[in-house]
Amino acid sequence: MRPQSVLSFAGIALLVPVTSAACFNAYPDPHHETSCTAPNKADTFPLLKRLRNSVVEFVFGPHPAKATASASHALASLRDDHVNEVVLRFNLTTAEEETAFAAAAARTFLDIWTFNREYVDVRIPKRDIRSLLSLLPETLKTSYSTLIADLAAAVYDTYPVLDTPAQIHRFDDRRANLKLAHSGSDNYFFQDYQKLDTIVQWMRLTEAMFPAITEVINIGQSYEGRDILGLKVGMKTQAPGADKRKTVVVTGGMHAREWISTTTANYVAWSFITAFGREPMITKLLKHFDFVFIPVVNPDGVEYTWTTDRLWRKSRQQTGMSWCRGFDLDHAFGYEWGDFSENDPCSESYGGKEPWQATEATALAMWAKNASRETTEFIGLIDLHSYSQQVLFPFAYSCDVDPPNVENLEELAAGLAKAIRLSNGELYSVTSACEGAVAGRGFKPGVKRIETGGGSAIDWFYHELHAHYSYQIKLRDTGSYGFLLPKDNIIPVGEEIFSAMKYFGDYLLGNNGIEKSIGTAAPAPEEPDRSLELRRLKRK
């Protein structure tokens, strides 16, 4: 549906509750007349009511009473997925242990969920635990614990299922109070995870509701032909011949199973939009900067997590092995790709046999390159992922090279983490994206790592587009749920990242994230010079 059509529907949806002096009902029950309309209004405006109901179903889908049977049938097959699988945490303390674990993981095709300087989390069938332990050094055979004992149940619980009368009744109670709220916490869209088509419809409707500061843009297409859409937020004041518009890109859904990254990108976008004209700093920020929110970089993979496998990570593109599909999009960009990339198509971190083989990574890069040649000056990237609660800065490919502005990167990263802590009390660590489970600087070339770092999005944006404030933020949690974060976390995570983004915006305005007042736009950082990159000293 075109934006103009959406605008017409949205206008009717907004007008009808006003004329009826009543509540906004998300899923009107055709069998029970609501008390939201004034007497005789239903007879006077039947067309308006039908159109109002249509736009609601357009955004939120059909009433659950209609959808329950089909949804329950489709999700019933997911009950058996990942049966007898668990998630284990291994505590690694030396580089030798990391090397041994990485070799064992590659040999057994383990699904690495996350890793940092203290531990690595893996998904594994119970029957394979003994085999894995036999490949590990003695120190690791007893240094593990179980994070998720029943993975199948945990997976099933993340899908928004409405399969009992009690659940539908509770849903009806919530929908009776639905409103197009300015606060994301009051918006029904953020009360649960949303499917891809619903996200697209929400983006279109948001554009129609706020045409002065939003625009849906097409980044490109996925391997299976789905549009990769972005929501551009900022004042449309650029005149012909004006300077390029300073722009920050916020991405989510690069790894399909990381649903919280998509909802968080949308939440922050909505928070920016509805704060415009209300919060002076946000208003000032959006007059000087554009923010492009791309909530689903990997639409094929995200769709697959809803229909087939909740824990799918990669894209859905064919590789050289027909039984091992997909590329890890965060290892598919063409910067420092070579020796720092995984070469096994069955690996969860496989970025391709050559750079730019992944359709979605290429589409994002081509869009960014074209935009930078025309009207856009990219100054930052916020690449949202999960999980482990970290703020990571370039470079990802190696710890033996510092970015020229590493001090500024670390300073701003620490400020982002502090803003999160002050918002919700959550602790996010700050480190270079190159850090492995325990090894960092001076790690010997050619030695197996938990995950290679070449071809990352933040490195490419930083070096190729000179987006000097590029970060990867790994969201909640630290392992209790992993990628299967309950929906109750959607709003708290959105709020804490919105706080971090406000700090980021204040920093860009020249206040260094300290003052919450209007400042002047900070000058663009100098372009990087590879010859000035500092070579870090290797550990003895």
pLDDT digits (tens, 9 = 90+) for 392-415: 999 999 888 899 999 999 999 999
In 3D space, the residue among 329, 299, 295 whose CA is nearest the CA of residue 226 turns out to be 299
pLDDT category of residue 179 using cuts at 50, 70 and 90: very low
- pLDDT category at 323 given cuts 50, 70, 90 is very high
Query: What's the chain's average pLDDT?
Result: 81
> What is the mean predicted confidence (pLDDT) over 158-163?
72
| The predicted structure's pLDDT at residue 528 | 38
* Average confidence (pLDDT) over 177-191: 65
Contacts from 167-171 at CB under 8 Å and sequence distance 24+?
A: 167/64, 168/64, 168/65, 168/68, 171/27, 171/64
Asked if 473 and 416 touch (Cβ cutoff 8 Å), the reply is yes
Residues in the chain: 540
pLDDT for residue 217: 99
Predicted pLDDT of residue 116:
86
> What was the pLDDT predicted at 185?
61
> Which among 351, 339, 445, 458 is positioned nearest to 400, based on CA atoms?
445
For the cut 70, the answer to whether the pLDDT of residue 94 exceeds it is: yes
Mean pLDDT over residues 95-117, rounded?
89
pLDDT confidence of residue 141? 95
pLDDT at 341 over 80: no
Q: Higher model confidence: residue 266 or residue 448?
A: 266
At 277, is the pLDDT very low, low, confident or very high (cuts 50, 70, 90)?
A: very high
- Give start-end residues of each CATH 3.30.70.340 domain in the chain: 78-157
- pLDDT for residue 489 is more than 50: yes
Q: Given a cut of 70, is residue 34 above it in pLDDT?
A: no
Q: What is the CATH number of domain 207-535?
A: 3.40.630.10
Instruction: For residue 435, name the pLDDT band (cuts at 50, 70, 90).
Output: confident
pLDDT at 241: 66
Per-residue pLDDT at 284: 96
Residue found under tokens 């929906």: 487
Q: Is the pLDDT of residue 222 over 50?
A: yes
Tell me the mean pLDDT in the region 126-155: 95
Residues linked to residue 120 through DSSP beta bridges, in sequence order: 90, 115
- CA-closest candidate to residue 467, choices 364, 327, 538, 354: 364
Q: What average pLDDT does range 324-328 have in this prediction?
A: 97
Alpha-carbon span 316 to 412, nearest angstrom? 35
Per-residue pLDDT, 180: 47
Going by CATH, does the domain composed of 78-157 fall within 3.30.70.340?
yes
State mean pLDDT over 48-76.
51
> Residues of CATH 3.40.630.10 domain(s) within the chain?
207-535
- Specify the pLDDT at position 161: 64
pLDDT in tens, 438-477: 555 555 554 556 777 889 999 999 999 999 999 999 999 9
> In the prediction, which pLDDT does 118 show?
86
With 90 as the cut, is the pLDDT of residue 296 above it? yes
DSSP, collapsed to helix, strand or coil, labels residue 19 as helix
- Asked whether residue 57 carries a pLDDT value surpassing 70, the answer given is no
pLDDT at 337: 82
pLDDT of 420 above 50: yes
Report the distance separating Cα 443 and Cα 115, nearest Å.
16
Those residues whose C-beta lies under 8 Å from the C-beta of residue 438, and which sit 6 or more positions away, are: 92, 93, 94, 95, 97, 98, 117, 118
Examine the pLDDT at 22 and tell me if it is beyond 50. Answer: no
d(CA 379, CA 144): 42
Maximum average pLDDT range among 21-30, 186-195, 475-484: 475-484
Q: What is the share, in percent, of the chain residues with pLDDT greater than 90?
A: 63
Higher pLDDT, 109 or 34: 109
User: What was the pLDDT predicted at 107?
Assistant: 87
518: pLDDT strictly greater than 50: no
